[in-house]
Structure 1
């Protein structure tokens, strides 16, 4: 009799544990991600089926293309998110989700969670672990961390660091260069290179004078940015480009934007690819 009662109690307690654990792990949790790196981490944690909405930077893996888009950065509206009826909305301090949107979501009763994201290898690892912990998927998070660390270990040491310059382009009408403390700048340093421009943070408009003064050895653009300029030939027509070492040698690198600047699970792969292309 006591044995039977013990097993009944055990089964009840185990069922309660499973129910609580599964709910927290996101089995029935509907998630909206307002950041490409967070979306990539969620997929790595095995939670892709719970994602009901993503921002436009959520481009990897390709299966995320099938998920409804909520917009980009400050253009994201609360109405679009609420229409998806999520249980939780996640974003990072780099996502720039509007305070008004956050207020609207909180007022509607939705759980809104911000994760801190730093553009360093330590920051990438910390982000993966914190997201994994929040969704009760620590084991899966550690697998991603180990893979990331293995990739980082493959990056060769640079003996004579080249000067790289990142140009953000949306056609010739929008050309910006990345200064210090930006994600491209941090990626250059991680891969063993130098940023050709110093003395300012964030992004500034590209000018022929500043470009010639910086005289980069290599120009780096998003693949979409280079396409918007009609390729390398179009880039060389931008004033000042042809006068730099990079322009003279036609040393131009294009990489997927989310890969290059995401600082997530593929950080090591991105740094390695940049290192190899910039040789």
Structure 2
């Protein structure tokens, strides 16, 4: 009996180690990595690359693709919960330097949880492609990253070609939501959305120091947009185009008069990613309707 146990124990130990991905496959294909990613931008790329199997949790702003909503969340990326992150037992936390609060980051550092960032400034198509390729390299998905970048180039070139054929430059106001006392949270010229609308052949008339800021009903009226885009959050709260057309500041605009008020997904317009070209083409159809 003792001889049998002597030989069985190494077999059991060997099986146990082999079943644990961290030790069982040197190629890394089945490694047990537990990644918490706190960037909606990175998360979309990770899914587009087909590298999402290592994700165990994300932040609340990560809403695309729809499959990501099945993952646990650890708070908004600027209002994170250290306990929520630690509870996921992560082997790596990925972020884009747009996270907080600071004391949470200090807690994670004290826990010696590895953290990694990629490109944290993505304001141009070239920077967008660089980010995609960085993530592709990290997750060993280089061919997929190259394919995403080629598709992005094709779509952006088509958008540029389309702009040359338009004879109008519509004014576009993008509202995130309307609050009490006729105050709106609107997207300004200093935003990623403004770049995308420009690439689509339109212009955002609302200025400001931040990418998104509160504006009055009077400012909306003075802008007199040809098109109003409401993000899913604001549109769904109001419920219908007719309700939106009744809003102070909106009612007298050309957009309201011609019923050119449309719903868009917030995640399609607040950052650049693998679908930016497709999103710009979609915005062109909205803002140049009938052209």
Pair in the same fold by TM > 0.5: yes
Quote how far apart the aligned CAs of 1:98 are.
2.7
In the alignment, which of 187, 191, 210 is matched to residue 182 of structure 1? 191
Structure-2 residue corresponding to 1:3: none
Quote how far apart the aligned CAs of 1:242 are.
1.0
- Partner of 1:197: helix, strand, or coil? coil
| In 1, Cα distance between equivalents of 2:231 and 2:147 | 29
- Partner of 2:210: helix, strand, or coil? coil
- Unaligned runs of 5+ residues in structure 1 are 1-17
- Partner of 1:241: helix, strand, or coil? coil
- Once the two structures are superposed, the pairs formed by residues 85-164 of structure 1 within 5 Å of their partners are 85-93=89-97, 95-115=98-118, 116-155=120-159, 156-157=162-163, 158-164=166-172
Quote how far apart the aligned CAs of 1:193 are.
1.1
Q: 1:138 to 1:244 in 2, by over 3 A?
A: same
CA radius of gyration, larger in? 2
Give the RMSD, CA atoms, in angstroms.
Answer: 2.2
Q: 1:195 to 1:213 in 2, by over 3 A?
A: same
- The CA deviation string for residues 192-242 of structure 1, in whole angstroms up to 9 with x for no partner, is 211121354332222122112211111111122201122222222221101
- Partner of 1:242: helix, strand, or coil? coil
Quote how far apart the aligned CAs of 1:172 are.
4.8
Structure-1 residue corresponding to 2:248: 239
Contact 2:268 2:279 (C-alpha < 8 Å) held by counterparts:
yes
| In 2, Cα distance between equivalents of 1:119 and 1:272 | 18
Higher relative contact order (CA 8 A, sep 6+): 1
- Unaligned runs of 5+ residues in structure 2 are 1-23
- Once the two structures are superposed, the pairs formed by residues 71-86 of structure 1 within 5 Å of their partners are 71-86=75-90
**Larger deviation: 187-196 or 116-125?**
116-125
Structure-1 residue corresponding to 2:12: none
Contact 1:41 1:265 (C-alpha < 8 Å) held by counterparts:
yes
| In 2, Cα distance between equivalents of 1:214 and 1:256 | 22
| In 2, Cα distance between equivalents of 1:179 and 1:161 | 17
Q: 1:228 to 1:171 in 2, by over 3 A?
A: farther
| In 1, Cα distance between equivalents of 2:201 and 2:169 | 6
Query: Which consecutive segments of 4 or more residues in structure 1 shift more than 4 A?
Result: 18-21, 170-174
Q: 1:98 to 1:114 in 2, by over 3 A?
A: farther
Contact 1:88 1:111 (C-alpha < 8 Å) held by counterparts:
yes
In the alignment, which of 42, 52, 71 is matched to residue 46 of structure 2? 42
Quote how far apart the aligned CAs of 1:251 are.
0.9
| In 2, Cα distance between equivalents of 1:39 and 1:199 | 29
| In 2, Cα distance between equivalents of 1:219 and 1:192 | 15
